[in-house]
Amino acid sequence: MSIKKSVTEWRAILSPAQFKVLREKGTERAFSGEYNDHFAKEGTYNCAGCEAPLYKATSKFHSHCGWPSFFEALPGAITLRPDDSLFMKRTEIVCTNCGGHLGHLFENEGYKNPTNERHCINSISLKFQDS
């Protein structure tokens, strides 16, 4: 993790909703996020906390789950962590650069993409940048 900020510093740069998701591992409501139905031919989805590039626009796909879904991240952009919260085993996805919570990884769900993975990401954790 490259960026280290205090809680006060994070609160100063993030909206309350962004802070809840990125720093407290919250989840936005399904189908409510800005990037759920956002598709672009080019560009990157960056971390809303530190602006580190996370996903290419070309790795986004329609999963109809209510959150933006990607099949692969940019090399080194994300870190995977075991998540045993909510009485289930999941894999949390965090931004490698700032440690911000992005969402969860789901595998082998039958989506027809190159990795058979679904990176289920909160829109509020992202910021799209055209290329």
Locus of tokens 């996370």: 54
What residue type is assigned to position 4 of the chain? K
CA distances from 101 to 22, 42, 47, 104, 130 (A): 4, 24, 10, 9, 23
Is-contact 92 86, C-beta < 8 A?
Answer: no
Whole-angstrom distance, CA of residue 72 vs CA of residue 58: 10
- Active site (catalytic) residues: 120
Query: Other CB atoms closer than 10 Å to residue 3's CB: what's the count?
Result: 16
